[in-house]
Amino acid sequence: MDYVHTDPMRHLLASTALLLAAAPLSANAEEDWVGRYALVTGPDAAGELQIKADGSFRFGMVAGALDLWAKGRWTRADRGIVLRTEPRPVAPVFALVSAKPGKRDGPLSVKVTRPNGEGIPGIDFHIVRDGLEPVHGYTQYDGWQSEPGEDSRVVSIQLSEPIYDAISPVFDVPANARDFTFTLTPNDMGVADFDNAPAERTADGLWINWRGGELRFVRQK
């Protein structure tokens, strides 16, 4: 899924040498953190972290369809430093636009669009039905439609964008509704939300505790 970011990873990587050359180092203990770090990851991914002497940082990572970046401030903490994305990113928002009625044994249909009406493929959905097993699937550009034939009432629908882990609320739907259209407003989708994420030293770099896992980096010379 191709969302347009205002500060993509490729711009970060291209400007690294100039940024580091222009950043003055401060003569104190915090200087030890300042530098350029490469993400330790597999062959289909790349990432970089810049920690600057003026208290700012820049981060970028590309892994398959996932494209993340962030910039913000870093400060000292008890056992290392913490990173905080600034300005704070705005989460993506799913909204139910329409829920049209249909025959109880007719097909179900789900479509997700951008605010401009363009269809979005690859949005997972979970449909809860009264008295029957839930329905799982994902959208194409023109949406998704089931085969007719099962007499059931739709109770609720939940959506998710799996690449960026964006999850909608559970939408309770009107009785007899079977044709659903949603919008996804990306906002700052693709901006990594470091909310005082702790980082600690390793023998050859540092690691960041983020979203229940670790991002490991090695210092670049």
Ordered per-residue pLDDT tens for the chain, 221 residues: 544 444 545 444 444 433 333 344 344 455 689 999 999 977 788 999 999 999 999 999 998 899 999 999 999 998 899 999 999 999 999 999 999 998 878 899 999 999 999 999 999 999 999 989 999 999 999 999 998 877 789 999 999 999 999 999 999 999 899 999 999 999 999 999 999 999 999 999 999 998 888 999 999 97
Domains of the chain, first to last: 9-90+189-219 (2.40.128.360), 93-185 (2.60.40.10)
Predicted pLDDT at 14: 44
Asked if 136 and 128 count as a contact pair (C-beta separation under 8 A), the reply is no
Distance CA 194, CA 56 (A): 13
Predicted pLDDT at 30: 56
Cis peptide preceding 87, ω within 30 of 0: yes
Predicted pLDDT at 151: 77
What the block records as the tokens of 7 is 């500060």
Residue 43, burial from CB neighbour count under 10 angstroms (0-12, 13-18, 19+):
exposed
Asked if 179 and 109 count as a contact pair (C-beta separation under 8 A), the reply is yes
